[in-house]
Chain A
Amino acid sequence: MEQIKPKKITLNPFEKVVEKLYELFDNNVLRYSVLITMTAFLVYLPRASSLFTQEIMTNMFFYVVVCLGLNIIVGFAGLLHLGYAAFFAVGAYVTGIMSATYGINFWLTLPFSIVAAIIAGLAIGAPTLRLRGDYLAIVTLGFGEIIRITVRNVGITGGAVGLIGIERPVFFGIVLNQISHFYYMFFILSIIAIFVSYRLYDSRLGRAWQYIREDEDAAAAMGINVVTTRLSAFIIGSCFGALAGSFFAVKMTAISPDSFMFIHSIMILLAVVLGGMGKIPGVVLGAIIVTIFPEISRDIGQYRLIIFAVILLVLMIYRPQGLWPDRQFQSTKK
C-alpha cells in the first residue's frame, strides 16, 4: 500500500515559540513542578500583596470560571454564543433576590440558581439547536438583551438601580467579607472549574461534542444524537455561568443591570477565542490576559484600549486559532 508522508509544515516565529512551549509541557516533571509552584504562589499571594492586586486577581479567577463555562459551549461544542452574560445575570439575580429580598442563606440559593440556568438554557436551546448555522448566535444575542432590559424594568430585580444588601455568605462560621476571602473562594472555584472541564473533555459526552463540532453529518451518521448532545453542552455551560453569577452577586453585595451588558458577553467570548477555543489551558490563559492586561497597562492611560485592540488584531491575523489552541480533528469531507 502506498504511504503518504506527513507534509513538512513551515512555522512562523511565533508558532515556533508555541511549539517549543508545547514540547516543554510534554515533560510531566516540569509540568507538575510548574503547576505546584504556581499554586503555592497563588495561595501565598494575598499575604504579600495590596488589596488592589487581590481585587484584580479575584476578578481574574472569576473570569477563568465564566470563560471555562463558555468554553464548553463555544470551544467544546462549537456553538456561537453571544449572550453569555445573560446566564451569568440569571444566577446573580436568583441569588440576589433570594438573599436580599427574602434573606435566604447564600448556599441554599445555589441549587435554585442552577435550576434557573437549566430552565433558561432549555428555553433558548431546545428550539434553536435543531437548526444549522448561526441561528443560535442571533437568538443568544437577543436573549442577552431581553434579560438585561427585563431586569432593568421589573420591580423584583430593583430596576435600573439594581439590588443592594445581598448578605455576605458564612462559611463554617466565618463571615466572608474580606477581599482575601473572596480571593480564595474564586481561586477554589476556578480550580474546580478546571477540574470539571477536564473531566468533561475526556468523557464520552465531551468526545461527542468534539465530533459534532468538527463534522455534524459524520457524527450523526455514527449514531450520535446531535440535538440532545448539543443541548447538554449548552445547559452545562449555562450552569457554569449561573453559578459564577451567584458568587459574583455575594462578592459585590450589589448588582445592577449594567453588570450584564453585551460588552461582557463579548469580553468573555474574546478571552475564549484569544486563548484557544476548546483548549482548557488556552482558555485560562485568555481569561488571564483579558483581565490583567487592562490593569497592568493603566499607566498609559486612555490609549490602553487602542493598544489592546491592535494586539488583538495582530494576533487574529497571525494566530487565528488562538494562542494555545485545541487539536482540531477535521474530517476528510470535501
Chain B
Amino acid sequence: MSEVILELRDVETRYGQIYALRGINFQVKKGEIVTLLGANGAGKSTTLKTISSLVPASAGQVLFMGRDITYDQPHSIVEMGVIHVPEGRMIFKELTVRENLELGSFTLKNNAERKRRIDHVFEIFPVLKERHKQMGGFLSGGEQQMLAIGRALMTQPKVLMLDEPSLGLAPILVQTIMKIIKQINDEGTTVLLVEQNAKAALKLANRGYVLETGEIVMDGNAAVLIKDESIVKAYLGEEKHPD
C-alpha cells in the first residue's frame, strides 16, 4: 500500500486564458481508492482529463509509476494502464452492450483474451450479460454506468479513473455502483474517484482531496474528512444548487 502509482506535481491546466487548475499536487498509492471532491467548476473533471491527456497540462508534471506522462497521447496512456470513464458515461447508444465492451478492448488483438475479459465483466455485472444483445441506448442510467465501467475494465487497467459515476442515479443504484467500485478495488485496481456525492465517496475511499476553484484546499484520510463539518455542509446537496 505504499508505492505511489500516480502523482501530480504543480499541475496547471487552462482553457485559453482561463485557469481550471492552479498548480495542484496529489498522490495516489497502489491499491488505494482516492476521491476528489468539490463543487461544480472546482476542476475535478479537468484533473482527470489532464491525467488522461484529453486536455494536456500547461505546466507541471503528471507521473505514472515514476514515468512522466504529461505530454503523452491519450491512447498511449490507455495502453500504459490508466483508463478514464468520462462524465456522462459516453457509451454508444446504438451499439449493443457487447459491441460497446469490444470497443474497450480495442487495443487487444487476441480474440480469446477478449472473450475472457468480456466474461469477467459479465461476472461483475450480471445484468450486462442478460442484456448483452441490447443497444446501449435502451439501458437504464445505472446500467449505462455499469457498461461504461465494464468497458473501461476491458483494458485491465492499473488505475481506473471514474468521473461522477453516481450522477443522475437513484440512491439505491448509487449504493450498487459504490459496492462494485469497492469490489473492483479489492481485485487490485487502484481507483481515482471524482464525486459530488461526498458522503458516498468518502465512505468508500481511503483518502480524499477537496478541490476549490482549481486548488486543493483540504486533504486527509476519508475517515477524518467524513467527520469534517465544513465538507458535509459544503458538498452535500450541492447538486440541487449548481452554480
Give A3 to B79 CA distance when docked, in angstroms. Answer: 35
Closest B residue to A218 by beta carbon equals B90
Q: Of residues A2, A222, A224, which shows the largest number of chain B Cβ atoms within 10 Å of its Cβ?
A: A222
A329 within 8 A of B: yes
Minimum distance in angstroms from A273 CB to a CB of chain B: 20
Q: Which residues of B contact A204 (CB under 8 A)?
A: 106
Is there an interface contact between B103 and A222, defined as CB atoms closer than 8 Å?
A: yes
Contacts of B95 in A (CB 8 A): 329
Chain B binder among A100-108, A109-117, A208-216, A287-295: A208-216
Given contacts A3-B140, A224-B75, A226-B75, contact A333 B94 (CB under 8 A): no
Q: Which residues from B are CB-within-8-Å of A224?
A: 75, 106
| Interface residue tally on A, bucketed by range | 20 to 34
- Among A1, A207, A333, A334, the most chain B Cβ lie within 10 Å of the Cβ of A1
At the interface, yes or no: A33 with Cβ under 8 Å from chain B? no
Q: A221 an interface residue at 8 Å Cβ cutoff?
A: yes
- Which A residues are in CB contact (< 8 Å) with B44? none
Cβ of A220: which chain B residues have Cβ within 8 Å of it?
A: 54, 74-75
User: B117 interface residue, CB < 8 Å from A?
Assistant: no
Chain A residue nearest in CB terms to B145: A332
Instruction: Give the complex CA separation of A225 and B143 in angstroms.
Output: 28
Contact with B along A215-241 (1 / 0, CB 8 A): 101101111111100000000000000
Among B82-138, those with CB < 8 Å from A are 83-86, 88-95, 103-104, 106-107, 127, 136-138
Q: Does B142 contact A (CB under 8 A)?
A: yes
Considering only residues 301-332 of chain A, those with a C-beta below 8 Å from chain B are 327-332
Q: Does B200 interact with chain A (Cβ within 8 Å)? A: no
Number of interface residues of B (CB under 8 A): 36
A329–chain B nearest beta-carbon distance, Å: 4
B contact residues around A48 at 8 Å (CB)? none
- Chain B residues positioned under 8 Å from A155 (CB to CB): none
Q: Is the CB of B94 within 8 A of A329?
A: yes
The 0/1 profile, CB within 8 Å of B marked 1, for residues 1-15 of chain A is: 111101000000000
CB pair A223 B78 closer than 8 Å: yes
From A215, A225, A327, give the contact of B94 (CB < 8 A): A327
Residues on A with beta carbons closer than 8 Å to the beta carbon of B94: 327-330
Contact with A along B46-82 (1 / 0, CB 8 A): 0000001010000000000000000001111011000
By a CB distance below 8 angstroms, the chain B residues around A217 are: 54, 86, 90
The contact of B91 among A2, A208, A332, A334, by CB within 8 Å, is A332
Residue of chain A at shortest CB distance from B107: A223
Q: Find chain A residues with CB under 8 A from B79 CB.
A: 223
Confirm or deny: B155 has a beta carbon within 8 angstroms of a beta carbon on chain A. yes
Is the pair B106, A208 in contact by a Cβ cutoff of 8 Å? yes
Contacts of A2 in B (CB 8 A): 140, 142, 170
Q: List 16 A-B contacts (CB under 8 A).
A: A1-B140, A1-B143, A2-B170, A6-B138, A211-B92, A218-B86, A221-B52, A221-B85, A329-B94, A331-B89, A331-B92, A332-B89, A332-B91, A332-B137, A333-B88, A333-B89
Interface, chain A (partner B; CB < 8 A): 1-4, 6, 204, 207-208, 211, 214-215, 217-218, 220-227, 327-334
- Given A222-B78, A222-B155, 6 new contacts (CB under 8 A): A1-B142, A217-B54, A220-B54, A223-B106, A225-B76, A333-B88
